[in-house]
């Protein structure tokens, strides 16, 4: 066999091993088990990955790393585990090596590197049996940053909080596991992160994604309330544009229709009434302008009636009805018998 043929065959076998490792169903993959007596050993499933000298080298490094781990020397263990992950990435040992490196970094609160190592595992080996554990740890790291976790500058001085990173991490977890129980939680936390950073539109978008993509989640009712409350917080009063008021009313009403038995129903009713009051007051202000400043009775009627429609059983509606009566009186006077024409003076010259 020529050298070129041998090299080509080696490449094909390596590629086949990688494809097999990545696509192999999780329940068929062999589990790696470690004991002090035997070291790392594959049990059950189908053994895949490196064999021969490279496989023995990878196994030796795995055992060395675990020994360092047991000796409470995580720095050396991490370095060796990551060496296995990089040098023998198509072996059965690589996913476990990167997982252990990530976990050791997590225990040391080296969150960014831990998150990255976890991401290597779920990206390269999506069928790993560690998948659910990894998603949980990545979520924990994102939550820690959202709650104000700090890194350390020069390994001594506390760094700054980094909620932008928390949002980035939650988005990554959502991408990794869009159908997991963590997905709606990620979107809720993304919204909270943006709210803390003052990114109102981005926060609303995250909540809207939760409502549209996870309508059956237990968090969806809260998402409706948060969107409604956010829009309500943007309302500046009856003298200003009422776009936010309309949105708040829509979300409060949708919530009350969809979740009449929810614990937040009283809060929603109160918020809805406040928004309807503001909207009705805005209509009256506009109507007053047309009535008292412009004498435009037709326009005044329209806006007074809209105020009544918005919040019919309220004091505001009573005011609107009273003003409507005033409009009708004024309009009637304006259409009374025309003034008598002045007689032409016929003088004698």
Q: What is the pLDDT of residues 76-105, one digit of tens each?
A: 999 999 999 999 998 889 999 999 999 999
Closest CA to 303 of 293, 314, 315, 289: 289
pLDDT band at 17 (very low <50, low <70, confident <90, very high): very low
Residue 14 has pLDDT above 50, yes or no: no
Residue 105 falls inside a structural domain: yes
Inside any domain, residue 99: yes
CB 66 within 8 A of CB 96: no
CATH of the domain at 89: 1.25.40.10
Is the CB of residue 276 less than 8 Å from the CB of residue 314?
yes
- Tell me what the mean pLDDT of segment 196-206 comes to: 96
* The pLDDT of residue 150: 63
Lowest mean pLDDT among 123-137, 146-160, 240-254, 304-318: 146-160
Residue 349 is assigned to a structural domain of this protein:
no
pLDDT digits (tens, 9 = 90+) for 139-186: 999 999 999 876 544 444 444 468 899 999 999 999 999 999 999 999
Q: To which residue do tokens 């409706």 refer?
A: 224
Instruction: Give CA angle at 32 (29, 38), nearest 5°.
Output: 145
Coil, helix or strand for 43?
Answer: strand
pLDDT grade, residue 335 (50/70/90)? confident
Cβ(81)–Cβ(100) under 8 Å? yes
Rg from Cα positions in the chain: 35
Contacts with 257 (C-beta within 8 Å, 6 or more apart), sequence order: none
pLDDT of residue 29: 54
In a domain, 81, yes or no: yes
Range of the domain at 53: 1-127
CA 51, CA 57: separation in Å to the nearest integer? 9
CA angle 218, 220, 222 (to 5 degrees): 95
- By the 10 Å C-beta count (0-12 exposed, 13-18 middle, 19+ buried), 112 is classed as middle
The two structure tokens encoding residue 62 = 């795995």
- Arithmetic mean of pLDDT over the chain: 86
Q: How far apart are the C-alpha atoms of 265 and 257, rounded to whole Å? A: 10
| Residues 73-79: contacts with CB under 8 Å, at least 24 apart | 74/104, 74/107, 74/108, 77/101, 77/104, 78/104, 78/105
What percentage of residues in the chain have a pLDDT greater than 90? 73
Evaluate if residue 329 carries a pLDDT over 70.
Answer: yes
What is the model's pLDDT at position 259?
Answer: 97
Residue 16 has what pLDDT?
44
CB 284 within 8 A of CB 303: yes
15 part of a folded domain: yes
Helix (H, G, I), strand (E, B) or coil at 173: helix
Distance CA 310, CA 110 (A): 55
Which backbone phi and psi does 276 adopt, to 5 degrees? Answer: -65, -35
Structure tokens at 316: 């505001």
Q: Does any domain span residue 53?
A: yes
How many domains does the structure of the chain reveal? 1
What tokens does 335 get? Answer: 């259409």
Structure tokens at 216: 């059956």
Dihedral over Cα of 115, 136, 77, 28: its sign: negative
Dihedral over alpha carbons 163, 164, 165, 170 (to 10 degrees): 90
> How does DSSP classify residue 36?
T
Give domain status of residue 134, yes or no.
Answer: no
CA distance 255 to 232: 14
User: Which tens digits make up the pLDDT trace of 18-58?
Assistant: 444 444 444 445 678 888 878 888 765 444 555 567 788 99
Query: 93 in a domain, yes or no?
Result: yes
Outline where the chain has alpha helix (H): 3-23, 52-70, 74-87, 93-107, 111-124, 131-146, 163-176, 182-197, 200-213, 220-233, 243-258, 265-288, 297-310, 315-334
Indicate the DSSP class of residue 26. Answer: G
Mapped onto helix, strand or coil, the DSSP state of residue 271 is helix
The answer to whether residues 165 and 151 touch, using CB atoms and an 8 Å cutoff, is: no
């Amino acid at each position: 066999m020529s050298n070129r043929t041998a090299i080509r065959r080696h490449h094909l076998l390596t590629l086949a091993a990688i494809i097999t490792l990545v696509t192999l169903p999780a329940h068929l993959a062999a589990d790696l088990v470690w004991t002090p007596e035997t070291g790392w050993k594959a049990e059950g499933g189908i053994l895949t990955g490196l064999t021969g000298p490279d496989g023995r080298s990878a196994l030796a490094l795995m055992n060395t790393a675990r020994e360092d781990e047991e000796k409470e020397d995580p720095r050396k263990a991490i370095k060796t585990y990551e060496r296995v992950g990089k040098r023998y990435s198509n072996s059965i040992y690589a996913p476990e090596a990167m997982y252990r490196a990530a976990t050791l970094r997590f225990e040391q609160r080296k969150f960014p590197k831990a998150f990255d190592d976890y991401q290597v595992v779920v990206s390269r080996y999506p069928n790993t049996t560690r998948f659910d554990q990894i998603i949980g740890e990545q979520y924990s790291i994102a939550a820690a940053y959202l709650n104000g976790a700090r890194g350390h500058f020069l390994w001594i001085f506390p760094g700054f909080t980094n909620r932008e990173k928390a949002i980035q991490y939650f988005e990554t977890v959502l991408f990794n596991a869009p159908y997991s129980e963590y997905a709606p939680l990620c979107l809720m936390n993304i919204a909270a992160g943006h709210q803390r950073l003052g990114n109102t539109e981005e926060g609303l978008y995250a909540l809207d994604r939760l409502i549209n993509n996870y309508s059956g989640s237990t968090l969806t009712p809260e998402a409706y309330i948060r969107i409604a409350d956010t829009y309500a917080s943007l309302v500046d009063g009856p003298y200003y544009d009422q776009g936010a008021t309309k949105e708040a009313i829509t979300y409060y009403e949708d919530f009350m229709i969809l979740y009449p038995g929810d614990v937040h129903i009283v809060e929603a009713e109160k918020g809805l009434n406040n928004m309807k009051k503001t909207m009705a007051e805005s209509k009256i202000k506009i109507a007053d302008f047309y009535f008292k400043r412009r004498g435009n009775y037709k326009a005044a009627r329209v806006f007074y009636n809209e105020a009544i429609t918005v919040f019919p059983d309220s004091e505001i509606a009573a005011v609107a009805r009273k003003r409507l009566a005033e409009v009708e009186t004024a309009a009637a006077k304006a259409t009374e018998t025309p003034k008598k024409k002045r007689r032409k003076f016929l003088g004698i010259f």
